[in-house]
């Protein structure tokens, strides 16, 4: 079974999502921004040729572009450093230097806004080591957090609000809940790649056009998209 084009839209925790095979065209869907799919002909030891690979070219935290050379985003001669879009991975993982840069900038921009977890040795899911104590009774204020923008060739994926932090199940610090930054260090997991996981694809319409070798995306309410499609069908 092979489809030249497919789309999906992942909702939040308790809502239905969308999976469509073939062409899609809906008046209520925003214009998609496209970035090329990257393919290589020669096998390399650390390059997954089956994965949907795109080219990450930059990262912004708030209005600040991280000061990183373009070479930091490119695969090396072994294939290590490819950027994969993977709906089967929960969070987003960045290789060491990029992770350190985004972690430090997010930490700096949230100083005085969020309280860092008083346990420097805690690492969530073996890769996420920037965590916070949040008293939910006084409100979390997720809307005030700096947006993280993943820049691709020709497109941008913005991560904001609740998608920036994830509540650690069954863990608390006194009366506070524990939340962790939803970008992890792929080096700690032994992954030689950047992985854009499904948490950051929530409420983003994702279209994979295999004929034109490109990925398109646009922000949308996936729960509403699911309802609209039920009506249209």
Give the tokens for residue 16: 């239905």
**Position 39 in a domain:** yes
CB 87 within 8 A of CB 10: yes
pLDDT at residue number 233: 40
Three-state secondary-structure class, residue 136: helix
Write out the chain's pLDDT in tens, 233 residues: 468 999 999 998 666 789 999 888 888 899 999 999 999 989 999 999 999 999 999 999 999 999 999 999 999 999 999 999 999 999 999 999 999 999 999 999 999 999 999 898 999 999 999 999 999 876 667 889 999 999 999 999 999 999 999 999 999 998 899 999 999 999 999 999 999 999 999 999 999 999 999 999 999 999 988 888 875 54
pLDDT at residue number 69: 95
**Position 136 in a domain:** no
DSSP class of residue 77 equals T
**Position 12 in a domain:** no
**Position 219 in a domain:** no
Domain count of the fold of the chain? 1
How much is the pTM?
A: 0.92
**Position 175 in a domain:** no
Give the tokens for residue 195: 């992985």
**Position 178 in a domain:** no
Adjacent-strand bridge partners of 195: 84, 93
Kindly provide the residue ranges of all beta strands, DSSP E only, lying in 3-70, ordered along the sequence: 5-9, 18-21, 33-36, 53-54, 56-61, 64-65
Q: Are strands 92-94 and 183-185 parallel, antiparallel or unpaired?
A: parallel
pLDDT at residue number 23: 85
Measured CA distances, 178 to 46, 91, 127, 192 (Å): 34, 17, 16, 28
pLDDT at residue number 14: 64
Angle among Cα 73, 202, 215 to the nearest 5 degrees reads 50
Contacts of 170 (CB under 8 A, 6+ apart): none
**Position 15 in a domain:** no
CATH number at residue 39: 2.40.70.10
**Position 5 in a domain:** no
Q: Are strands 18-21 and 214-219 parallel, antiparallel or unpaired?
A: unpaired
Give the tokens for residue 115: 């309280």
How far is C-alpha 28 from the geometric centre of its chain's CA atoms?
24
Range of the domain at 100: 31-113+146-162+183-204
Other beta carbons less than 10 A from residue 11's beta carbon: 17
pLDDT at residue number 3: 80
């Amino acid at each position: 079974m092979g489809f030249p084009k497919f789309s999906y839209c992942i909702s939040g925790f308790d809502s239905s999502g969308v999976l469509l095979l073939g062409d899609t065209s809906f008046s209520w869907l925003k214009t998609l921004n496209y970035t090329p799919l990257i393919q290589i002909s020669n096998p390399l030891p650390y390059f997954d040729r089956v994965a949907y690979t795109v080219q990450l070219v930059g990262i912004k935290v708030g209005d600040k572009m991280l000061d990183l050379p373009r070479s930091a985003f490119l695969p090396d001669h072994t294939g290590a450093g490819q950027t994969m879009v993977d709906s089967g991975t929960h969070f987003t993982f960045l290789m060491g230097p990029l992770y350190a840069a985004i972690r430090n900038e997010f930490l700096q921009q949230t100083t005085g806004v969020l309280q860092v977890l008083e346990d420097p040795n805690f690492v969530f899911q073996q890769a996420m080591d920037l965590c916070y104590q949040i008293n939910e009774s006084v409100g979390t204020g997720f809307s005030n957090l700096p947006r993280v923008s993943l820049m691709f060739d020709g497109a941008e994926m913005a991560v904001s609000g609740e998608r920036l932090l994830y509540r650690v199940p069954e863990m608390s610090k006194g009366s506070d809940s524990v939340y962790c930054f939803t970008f992890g260090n792929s080096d700690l997991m032994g992954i030689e790649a950047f992985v854009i996981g499904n948490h950051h694809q929530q409420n983003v319409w994702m279209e994979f056009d295999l004929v034109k070798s490109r990925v398109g995306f646009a922000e949308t309410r996936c729960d509403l998209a699911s309802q609209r499609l039920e009506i249209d069908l």
